[in-house]
Amino acid sequence: MSRFFSKNYSSLVPYVPGEQPKHLSSFVKLNTNESPFPPSDKALAYAAENTRPFNLYSDPECTELVKQLSKTYGVEPENVLCGNGSDEILYFAFAAFCSDDQPAMFADITYGFYPVFAQMARVPYKIIPLKDDLSMDLDAFWQNGAAFIANPNAPTGIALSAAEIESFVSAYSDRIVVVDEAYVDFGAESCVELTKKYDNLLVVQTFSKSRSMAGARLGFAIGNKELIGDLKTLKYSLNPYNINSYTAALGVGTLLDQGYTDKNCSVIIENRQYASEKLKELGFEMTDSKANFIFAKHKNMSGEEIYLKLKENKVLVRHFGLDRIKDYNRITVGSRAQMDSLAAALEKILK
Ligand SMILES: *Cc1c(COP(=O)(O)O)cnc(C)c1O
């Protein structure tokens, strides 16, 4: 830390992203929940044709993209905001909807960025422990504050039903509920429809996982017009051109080829089932994941040892040191071939 670093941030602990190895091809990379599939050819062709010239600023309204998103999700353009990854939007939500008398609330085991965003936005936060079975304890969110709920949750993969979230949102209509649906396309129920009925519900999604666009950085929020307006106030106060022109066009192309996304999601769901069975045979216990990852622990070997030995065998997974989940590893569900390499490496390690 330099002697000039603001004391506002002197205790800020940044998020630690999953490793991105230099020699990509030498690893089976199952540590950051990316899609194993490239964007569709149609989407890439659309982007090649429709990207605004780079000497011009990108469209701050993302007009085409917002139009296409509103069509896809059956809402009005005024209900949609795009961000540079959903991370950016989540940060805006912490800054926009939390304050000293309205702390952020989120689970003890959830997306690791939430406490970082709260610190960045300089707002207080309350930690709500998951239940013993690692499911979300919605009842414990009764307190005053803005609730941030990843659904499915990360890194457990466990999902709440839309009905459970609706009963919470309707019971606490004086407070905002932000549902982070980064993984919803892999088999959980979305709350997007509910945003039409409840003005205290904001849903955030991303193109990074189910839509094969992690490196292009694109996320979006859907909610009541006023909530979207608040987020826009922050976006236009920081960087109106937060989505680059290529990403905006690729996003439209991807939405126009929804069949490709749907097919890839079904393959991932099948491969999740396939890999879960293999892991079970090898003696692993898993949570009921509705995401593109498996959260698994083994009775005979610590989570950290499995992580390290897999790495020696050129398979990267994600291990978190937090006490409650240190026995587990989060393993991205990839292609069938990747799942076979994983199983082979585990078999060797556990022998
Ligand atoms: C991956 C992820 C995100 C955001 O990803 P972006 O790439 O910034 O869109 C948000 N929430 C959760 C829970 C995630 O796992």
Pair 202, 316 in one domain: no
Q: How confident is the model at residue 23 (pLDDT cuts 50, 70, 90)?
A: confident
Rounded average pLDDT over 256-278: 98
Query: Which residues fall within 8 angstroms of residue 206, CB to CB, at 6 or more apart?
Result: 85, 86, 182, 218, 219, 220
- Could you identify the residue written with the tokens 């959260």? 295
Task: Enumerate the β-bridge partners of residue 203.
Answer: 179, 222
We report the CATH number of the domain holding residue 252 as: 3.40.640.10
Backbone phi, psi, residue 338, to 5°:
-65, -40
16 has pLDDT over 90: no
Q: Which two tokens stand for residue 55?
A: 């000497």
Pocket residues for ligand 1 (CB within 6 Å)?
Answer: 85-87, 111, 150, 154, 180, 182, 206, 208, 214, 219
pLDDT score of 74 = 98
Rounded average pLDDT over 248-265: 98
Rounded average pLDDT over 144-152: 97
Q: How many domains does the chain have?
A: 2
109-135 tens-digit pLDDT:
999 999 999 999 999 999 999 999 999
* Rounded distance from Cα 33 to ligand 1 centre (Å): 9
Q: Which two tokens stand for residue 13?
A: 């602990």
Pair 159, 289 in one domain: no
* Rounded distance from Cα 350 to ligand 1 centre (Å): 32
Q: How confident is the model at residue 274 (pLDDT cuts 50, 70, 90)?
A: very high
pTM: 0.97
52 has pLDDT over 90: yes
pLDDT score of 33 = 97
26 has pLDDT over 90: no
β-pairing verdict for 80-83 and 219-223: antiparallel
pLDDT score of 347 = 97
Pair 345, 266 in one domain: yes
* Rounded distance from Cα 75 to ligand 1 centre (Å): 22
24 has pLDDT over 80: no
- Helix (H/G/I), strand (E/B), else coil: 94: helix
Pair 235, 319 in one domain: no
* Structural domain of 302: 20-38+259-350
Residue from 341, 316, 338 nearest 329 by CA: 316
Q: Is residue 170 part of a domain?
A: yes
Lowest mean pLDDT among 23-27, 149-153, 244-248: 23-27
Please count the other Cβ atoms lying within 10 Å of the Cβ belonging to residue 144: 12
Q: How confident is the model at residue 25 (pLDDT cuts 50, 70, 90)?
A: confident
Q: Whose CA is nearest to atom 6 of ligand 1?
A: 85
Alpha helices in the chain (DSSP H): 41-50, 63-73, 85-97, 113-121, 162-171, 225-238, 245-256, 258-281, 303-312, 336-350
Pair 158, 207 in one domain: yes
Rounded average pLDDT over 88-106: 98
Q: Is residue 13 part of a domain?
A: no
* Rounded distance from Cα 207 to ligand 1 centre (Å): 9
Q: Is residue 162 part of a domain?
A: yes
Pair 244, 313 in one domain: no
Backbone phi, psi, residue 145, to 5°:
150, 180
Pair 80, 169 in one domain: yes
Pair 168, 314 in one domain: no
Contact 68, 110 (CB under 8 A): no
Rounded average pLDDT over 297-316: 97
